Amino acid sequence: MDTSWEASVTDSINAIYLLFSAYLVFVMQLGFAMLCAGSVRAKNAMNIMLTNVVDAVVGSISYYLFGFAFAFGDASNSNPFIGTNYFALKDIPSSSYDYSFFLYQWAFAIAVAGITSGSIAERTQFTAYLFFSFFLTGFVYPVVAHWLWSSNGWLSPNSDSLLFGSGAIDFAGSGVVHLVGGIAGLWGSLIEGPRVGRFDAFGNPVKMRGHNATLVVLGTFLLWFGWFGFNPGSFDKILVPYPNKIDQGNWTSVGRTAVTTTLAGSTAGIVTLFGRRILVGHWDATDVCNGVLGGFVAITSGCSVVEPWAAIVCGFWAAWVLIGLNILALKLKFDDPLEAAQLHGGCGAWGLIFTGLFAKEEFVLQAYNSGKTQVARPSGLILGGGWGLFGAQVVELLSIVVWVSLTMGPLFYALQKLGILRITADEEIAGLDISSHGGYAYEANQEENGPRFYGEYLRMQHQS
């Protein structure tokens, strides 16, 4: 009787912890909305906020119907590439998963589409968002999640057949979430091309600043807050004691993971602050916010398996990865209003490599073997762990780039050929709010002397 009661209490606390983490991750959707809204021009604020709502509502249905099954289906005929059961949550709860786990993973799935939306902001037809959001959250992302986070996945560190004797460590999704969203956004932005006026006749970049730095800062802090569910919450359970350690368990690893997350983001923010000061000659709040987020993206892979000092190293180099990629993007005339491809794609890729260099064996055992000391696992290359883990990280990086390119690239290309991806130049100049949504997000907006009301916009169209 006592054992049953104790088990029930343990299960209840673990369920509450996972649900609370899911709520924190969902708050990140509000953070994305505010960050995106502040980073675009006022005439497109309504559009970008609506796309964030669409990412959540469309992603909910697609992930319920297909996504969760593709990601975590573990029936006897499941394979290392894709799951094959739990469609529409049939047979949930099961011996493996319950509703709390589904909700937590759903919050991750809708974040991926939000990343991609930022890359193609200010020039994309609303219909296109419906197509790619459904496809990305229902199929493309779940397949990658199955590779890494299902025990059947071919890259999983929990698999019975570990790649290179290690499996790839992507604890909370530098690759699964951020690299997937970043590469999808890269293809969308490349196929659409730059916004009207982003580069002048000589190919020089023209600054298009977001209209509200306040929203950018608010969105950054909301994302920071949500990341404490994103990274520490990925332990799934908090009441897991470690053998031979009377005072340590998942609860200590959860605390350390929150610390490494904070240190990486903070370090990246500081480096970006001074790095951009040297490059552009002034202190730029929005650049620092993106730097902070770049640090968070990078540490998300190895947050649970590295020391706090290593998190500082991670954040330092994440800032330079982001700065360097932004400079390269301008030289190549690549236009990403939110820097999403550079931030989530570039810093996500660095996070995978970083984990392969700095993962500590003791922490790997805690994260993946509940602290069992009689098990040996490859760890970071720099810490003497050999090439196994590093090799698996590189394979994960390349596999994600190839998979997303082969799926999202053709989708965006098909949408473009069908004429339902990019808006017309006239609509873009007028602004998506007035041309697609019937009015601006802010009253009495007269940005660029454009029409104030939808009727005025229609009259202008008839006259032209």
Is 464 part of any domain?
no
Question: Which residues of the chain are modeled with pLDDT < 70?
Answer: 1-3, 75-77, 371, 444-461, 463-464
Is 247 part of any domain?
no
Place of tokens 């912890």: 17
Is 463 part of any domain?
no
Is 89 part of any domain?
yes
Predicted confidence at residue 399, as pLDDT, reads 97
Is 359 part of any domain?
yes
User: Range of 96's domain?
Assistant: 8-237+262-437
Predicted confidence at residue 1, as pLDDT, reads 42
Long-range CB contacts for residues 434-443, cutoff 8 Å, separation at least 24: 434/43, 436/47, 436/125, 436/126, 437/46, 437/47, 437/50, 437/126, 439/46, 440/42, 440/43, 440/45, 440/46, 441/37, 441/42, 441/45, 441/46, 441/49, 442/42, 442/45
Q: Rounded to an integer, what distance in angstroms lies between the CA atom of residue 184 and that of residue 115?
A: 9
Residue 139's CATH number:
1.10.3430.10
Is 445 part of any domain?
no
Predicted confidence at residue 5, as pLDDT, reads 76
Predicted confidence at residue 377, as pLDDT, reads 86
Is 109 part of any domain?
yes
Instruction: Indicate the number of domains in the chain.
Output: 1
Is 210 part of any domain?
yes
Q: What does the chain come to in residues?
A: 464
Predicted confidence at residue 439, as pLDDT, reads 81
